[in-house]
Protein backbone atom coordinates (compact mmCIF):
# COMPACT_ATOMS: atom_id res chain seq x y z
CA UNK A 1 0.00 0.00 0.00
CA UNK A 2 1.54 3.29 -1.08
CA UNK A 3 1.78 6.37 1.05
CA UNK A 4 3.07 9.93 1.07
CA UNK A 5 4.87 11.32 4.10
CA UNK A 6 6.99 14.36 4.91
CA UNK A 7 8.93 15.97 7.70
CA UNK A 8 10.59 19.34 8.24
CA UNK A 9 14.02 19.94 9.74
CA UNK A 10 15.04 23.45 10.76
CA UNK A 11 18.68 23.26 9.65
CA UNK A 12 19.52 26.67 11.17
CA UNK A 13 18.59 25.40 14.63
CA UNK A 14 19.33 21.72 14.09
CA UNK A 15 15.89 20.70 15.31
CA UNK A 16 12.54 19.51 13.95
CA UNK A 17 10.24 22.11 12.44
CA UNK A 18 7.25 21.90 14.78
CA UNK A 19 3.90 23.53 14.02
CA UNK A 20 4.37 24.05 10.27
CA UNK A 21 1.18 24.06 8.24
CA UNK A 22 1.35 22.03 5.02
CA UNK A 23 -1.32 21.93 2.33
CA UNK A 24 -1.48 18.86 0.07
CA UNK A 25 -2.69 19.02 -3.54
CA UNK A 26 -3.06 16.62 -6.46
CA UNK A 27 -2.43 18.25 -9.86
CA UNK A 28 -4.47 17.20 -12.86
CA UNK A 29 -4.31 19.10 -16.15
CA UNK A 30 -2.85 22.12 -14.30
CA UNK A 31 -5.78 22.10 -11.84
CA UNK A 32 -5.01 21.83 -8.12
CA UNK A 33 -7.25 19.55 -6.05
CA UNK A 34 -6.85 20.19 -2.31
CA UNK A 35 -6.50 16.86 -0.49
CA UNK A 36 -5.75 17.94 3.07
CA UNK A 37 -4.05 20.35 5.41
CA UNK A 38 -1.72 19.00 8.10
CA UNK A 39 0.51 20.47 10.82
CA UNK A 40 3.87 19.04 11.83
CA UNK A 41 4.21 17.61 15.33
CA UNK A 42 7.04 18.03 17.86
CA UNK A 43 9.22 15.72 15.75
CA UNK A 44 8.62 17.82 12.60
CA UNK A 45 6.50 15.01 11.14
CA UNK A 46 2.81 14.46 10.51
CA UNK A 47 0.98 12.10 12.85
CA UNK A 48 -0.11 9.89 9.94
CA UNK A 49 0.65 9.54 6.24
CA UNK A 50 -0.73 12.56 4.42
CA UNK A 51 -2.02 10.45 1.52
CA UNK A 52 -2.21 6.65 1.53
CA UNK A 53 -3.83 3.59 0.04
CA UNK A 54 -6.26 4.09 -2.81
CA UNK A 55 -6.10 7.87 -2.32
CA UNK A 56 -2.50 7.84 -3.60
CA UNK A 57 -2.53 7.53 -7.38
CA UNK A 58 0.15 8.00 -10.00
CA UNK A 59 0.47 11.63 -11.02
CA UNK A 60 1.71 15.00 -9.86
CA UNK A 61 1.42 16.35 -6.32
CA UNK A 62 2.27 19.56 -4.52
CA UNK A 63 3.11 20.14 -0.88
CA UNK A 64 2.84 23.79 0.20
CA UNK A 65 4.86 24.57 3.35
CA UNK A 66 3.99 27.76 5.27
CA UNK A 67 7.58 28.39 6.32
CA UNK A 68 7.22 32.14 6.92
CA UNK A 69 4.64 31.62 9.66
CA UNK A 70 6.97 29.12 11.33
CA UNK A 71 10.00 31.43 11.08
CA UNK A 72 8.01 34.35 12.53
CA UNK A 73 6.85 32.15 15.43
CA UNK A 74 10.50 31.16 16.05
CA UNK A 75 11.43 34.85 16.37
CA UNK A 76 13.58 34.85 13.24
CA UNK A 77 13.92 38.50 12.30
CA UNK A 78 13.77 39.35 8.62
CA UNK A 79 12.75 42.10 6.27
CA UNK A 80 9.19 41.94 4.99
CA UNK A 81 8.38 40.45 2.67
CA UNK A 82 10.46 37.53 3.82
CA UNK A 83 12.85 35.89 1.41
CA UNK A 84 11.06 32.56 2.07
CA UNK A 85 7.42 32.55 3.04
CA UNK A 86 5.32 29.93 1.23
CA UNK A 87 7.31 27.06 -0.29
CA UNK A 88 5.59 24.89 -2.92
CA UNK A 89 7.19 21.52 -3.77
CA UNK A 90 5.91 19.75 -6.87
CA UNK A 91 6.84 16.15 -7.53
CA UNK A 92 5.65 13.10 -9.40
CA UNK A 93 4.41 9.75 -8.14
CA UNK A 94 5.15 7.11 -10.79
CA UNK A 95 4.29 4.00 -8.76
CA UNK A 96 1.47 4.55 -6.27
CA UNK A 97 2.27 1.29 -4.46
CA UNK A 98 5.52 2.76 -3.10
CA UNK A 99 6.33 5.01 -0.15
CA UNK A 100 7.13 8.57 -1.19
CA UNK A 101 8.81 10.56 1.59
CA UNK A 102 9.37 14.22 0.66
CA UNK A 103 11.15 16.11 3.47
CA UNK A 104 11.93 19.82 3.66
CA UNK A 105 15.25 21.02 5.10
CA UNK A 106 14.63 24.65 6.01
CA UNK A 107 16.58 27.75 7.02
CA UNK A 108 15.54 31.42 6.76
CA UNK A 109 17.33 31.89 3.41
CA UNK A 110 17.31 28.47 1.80
CA UNK A 111 15.74 25.05 1.61
CA UNK A 112 16.28 21.69 -0.01
CA UNK A 113 14.32 18.52 -0.52
CA UNK A 114 14.88 14.97 -1.73
CA UNK A 115 13.06 11.69 -2.00
CA UNK A 116 13.67 10.01 1.30
CA UNK A 117 12.82 6.58 2.61
Per-residue pLDDT tens listing for the chain (117 residues)? 899 999 999 999 999 999 999 999 999 998 999 999 999 999 999 999 999 999 999 999 999 999 999 999 999 988 889 999 999 999 999 999 999 999 999 999 999 999 998
Domains along the chain?
3-113 (2.60.40.180)
Query: pTM higher than 0.85, yes or no?
Result: yes
Task: List the 3-5 sheet strands across, edge first.
Answer: 51-52, 3-5, 99-101
What is the per-residue pLDDT for 30? 80
- Could you give the CA distance from residue 65 to residue 88 in angstroms, rounded to a whole number? 6
* 3-state percent breakdown (helix, strand, coil) of the chain, nearest 5: 10, 50, 45
Of the candidates 80, 71, 15, the one whose C-alpha atom is nearest the C-alpha of residue 45 is 15
Contact 69, 86 (CB under 8 A): no
What is the per-residue pLDDT for 115? 97
- Could you give the CA distance from residue 44 to residue 42 in angstroms, rounded to a whole number? 5
Contact 44, 17 (CB under 8 A): yes
Sort strands 51-52 and 110-113 into parallel, antiparallel or unpaired.
unpaired
Amino acid sequence: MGRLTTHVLDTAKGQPGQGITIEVFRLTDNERQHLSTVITNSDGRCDAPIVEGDALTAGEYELVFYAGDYLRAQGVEANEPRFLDVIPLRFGVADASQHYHVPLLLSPYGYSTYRGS
